[in-house]
Chain A
Amino acid sequence: MMKSKLMLSMLHHLRGMGHRMIERTWRLGAGARLFFLAIVYSGESFKRFHLTLREIYFTGVMSLLIIIVSAFFVGMVLALQGYNTLQKYGSSEAIGVLVALALVRELGPVVTALLFAGRAGTAITAEIGLMKTTEQLSAMEMMAVNPIARVVAPRFWAGVISMPILASIFSMVGILGGYLVAVPLIGVDDGAFWSQMQANVDFSADIVNGVIKSLVFGVVCTMIALFEGFDAPPTAEGVSRATTRTVVISSLTVLGLDFILTSFMLVV
């Protein structure tokens, strides 16, 4: 009796695992299909660029404040922590290069992507989820207007264009924050701060790689937000869950992809 109960419970768990695996595989396939369709129907986004421009304003420009404030504090903390360690080895002049490399290579693209997922990604998911719930997408379909071309593609390109620009702004403001702490506050030499940075930050190895990372994160974060909105069950709870999933999946994917991209970039 006990044995059969155990067997039944194990079977139940296995069935649950299988169900979750199938569901996730299906969602991955559906997400890839949406990505493919967004690319195929992108013509409209460039032909009528004002549609994309409007989305750049909502995803990019509206994210500027959170990006600038966060970058400023990240840069200041980096300078404080960096100085604390570097002075033990007598190389506190290298503080500029430490701040710049940390921001341009890693923190700029990664933190921007995380903030983007939390600010613009959730907004995209909630907006599309609500459009679905209130039948706005169905109405568009019934008017013979393709929602992928009209709704998904402009938001996709807006995210892809905005992310590298936001990441660059993040790095620049972060460096400024680091400078303000290192030079006027701590008293590191002004010339050493900038010259070390200029000498040791490489354009292709550091800046271009950072831009490549932020481009990849832009594609991934925007696509996750769009798919979650499109796939959200048309209920208040469905949209709420989809919004949460956007943040969780985007954050984990960005962190995982960052490791993979960094590995490739360091090897190459």
Chain B
Amino acid sequence: MTSNIVEIDNLSFGYKGRLLHKGINMVFPRGKVVAIMGGSGSGKTTLLRLIGGQIKPSHGEVRVDGDVVHKQDREGIYTLRRKMGMLFQHGALFTDLSVFDNVAFPMRELTDLPEAMIRDLVLMKLNAVGLRGAHQFMPTELSGGMARRVALARAIALDPAIIMYDEPFAGLDPISMGVICALIRSLNDALGATSIIVSHDVKETFLIADYVYFVANGEVAAEGTPEDLMQSKLPFVHQFVHGDKDGPVPFHYPAGDYRSELLQASSGQKG
């Protein structure tokens, strides 16, 4: 058993001739909370999809528990996915099922547990996220934060070894954000799992992550502990962590000369 449960080795991936990732290397040690950060469109969520085997890399490989993900057949992929739990950005709860049935879904589909045991397990998972009292609700009756917590209970339903979080803090109020933040850390430690968080919320992520990767321009731009990165003098990291308006990521989208464009427009109007 290797010390890293997930290893990304020289991975490149692209759509329609445009490379999104160019030779990325990352490791995710067992029991740790590791964050992948970067701007919108930097391919963070795509990395989660590559780890989950939903898409195949152009070059390089992703290894989960020693197995190369893209070389697995359908059964092999499903076996690997049984070790994973994933929290989607908006929860992705099944809208035709109640909160209880959503959490019970993976247990009913993937195990032969008797219904009485499933009931107890579901209530335990919901209790862990503080929503045991909401088990009879439908997803449409939940707030954004509650939906995210139910999705988290569903993601840990089968005690996965890897829990992946896709933008877990996006669109939440400060209280819900704090709750999710605390839950990610406490559940990771209680289950002895490895958590991979994809986010661009610096404050919350730095609070719970053991290690952080910054992705920019398809490469790992920086990596280290949250403390190291807070002190980093690297221009990109400094701009991202402190939220500077201008820097390596420019405020202005590339365009021609401002003055000449304005003059051209006014002369065109006169004509």
- Chain A residues packing against B (C-beta within 8 Å): 130, 134-136, 138-139, 141-146, 150
CB-defined interface of B106-127 with A at 8 Å, one 1/0 digit per residue?
1001100000000000000000
- Residues from chain B with a CB closer than 8 A to the CB of A143 are 81, 105-106, 109-110
**Pair A138/B92 contact, Cβ less than 8 Å:** yes
- Chain B residues packing against A (C-beta within 8 Å): 52, 54, 77-79, 81-82, 84, 86, 88-90, 92-95, 105-106, 109-110
User: How many Å lie between the Cα of A145 and that of B86 in the bound state?
Assistant: 13
**Pair B90/A134 contact, Cβ less than 8 Å:** yes
- Residues from chain B with a CB closer than 8 A to the CB of A136 are 92-95
**Pair B109/A134 contact, Cβ less than 8 Å:** no
User: How many Å lie between the Cα of A143 and that of B52 in the bound state?
Assistant: 10
Q: Among A135, A143, A146, which residue has the most Cβ atoms of chain B within 10 A?
A: A143
Question: B78, B79, B86, B110: which contacts A139 (Cβ < 8 A)?
Answer: B86
B255 to chain A, nearest CB (A): 28
User: How many Å lie between the Cα of A59 and that of B79 in the bound state?
Assistant: 34
B92 to chain A, nearest CB (A): 4
- Residues from chain B with a CB closer than 8 A to the CB of A139 are 86, 88, 92, 94
User: How many Å lie between the Cα of A73 and that of B266 in the bound state?
Assistant: 68
A119 to chain B, nearest CB (A): 18
A–B pairs, 24, beta carbons within 8 Å: A134-B90, A134-B95, A135-B89, A136-B92, A138-B88, A138-B92, A139-B86, A139-B92, A141-B81, A142-B54, A142-B81, A142-B84, A142-B86, A143-B81, A143-B105, A143-B106, A143-B109, A143-B110, A144-B78, A144-B79, A144-B82, A145-B106, A145-B109, A146-B78
A251 to chain B, nearest CB (A): 27
User: How many Å lie between the Cα of A150 and that of B77 in the bound state?
Assistant: 17
B181 to chain A, nearest CB (A): 22
**Pair A135/B110 contact, Cβ less than 8 Å:** no
User: How many Å lie between the Cα of A145 and that of B84 in the bound state?
Assistant: 12
Kindly list the 7 A-B residue pairs having the minimum CB-CB distance in the complex, ordered from nearest: A139-B92, A135-B92, A144-B78, A144-B81, A142-B86, A145-B109, A135-B88
Question: B52, B79, B89, B95: which contacts A142 (Cβ < 8 A)?
Answer: B52
**Pair A135/B90 contact, Cβ less than 8 Å:** yes
Cβ-closest chain B residue relative to A135: B92
- Residues from chain A with a CB closer than 8 A to the CB of B79 are 144
User: How many Å lie between the Cα of A180 and that of B44 in the bound state?
Assistant: 67
Question: A130, A141, A144: which contacts B110 (Cβ < 8 A)?
Answer: A144
**Pair B95/A145 contact, Cβ less than 8 Å:** no
Cβ-closest chain B residue relative to A143: B106
Cβ-closest chain A residue relative to B74: A146
- Residues from chain A with a CB closer than 8 A to the CB of B81 are 141-144
User: How many Å lie between the Cα of A21 and that of B260 in the bound state?
Assistant: 45
B187 to chain A, nearest CB (A): 17
User: How many Å lie between the Cα of A136 and that of B91 in the bound state?
Assistant: 9
B77 to chain A, nearest CB (A): 8
User: How many Å lie between the Cα of A70 and that of B105 in the bound state?
Assistant: 39
User: How many Å lie between the Cα of A138 and that of B55 in the bound state?
Assistant: 12
**Pair B54/A138 contact, Cβ less than 8 Å:** yes
- Residues from chain A with a CB closer than 8 A to the CB of B54 are 138, 141-142
- Residues from chain A with a CB closer than 8 A to the CB of B77 are 144
B178 to chain A, nearest CB (A): 25
B208 to chain A, nearest CB (A): 22
Cβ-closest chain B residue relative to A141: B54
- Residues from chain A with a CB closer than 8 A to the CB of B109 are 143, 145, 150
- Residues from chain B with a CB closer than 8 A to the CB of A146 are 78
User: How many Å lie between the Cα of A143 and that of B109 in the bound state?
Assistant: 9
- Residues from chain B with a CB closer than 8 A to the CB of A145 are 105-106, 109-110
